[in-house]
Amino acid sequence: MEARLNYFADPTAGRVFKHLMSAGKLLTDSALPAATRELVSLRVSQINGCAVCVDMHTKEAAAAGETAVRLNLVAVWREATVFTEAERAALELAEEGTRVADAAHGVGDEVWANAVKHFDEEQLTALATLVAFTNAVNRLNIIARQPAGDYEPGRFH
pLDDT in tens, 40-62: 999 999 999 999 999 999 999 99
Confirm whether pTM is higher than 0.85.
Answer: yes
Q: What is the DSSP letter of 30?
A: S
Q: How far apart are CA 30 and CA 153, in angstroms?
A: 19
Q: Tell me the domains of the chain and their CATH numbers.
A: 11-144 (1.20.1290.10)
Largest Cα separation within the chain, whole Å, is 46
Q: Is 149 left (phi over 0), alpha (psi -120 to 50) or beta?
A: left
C-beta separation of 118 from 93 below 8 A: no
pLDDT in tens, 106-128: 899 999 999 999 999 999 999 99
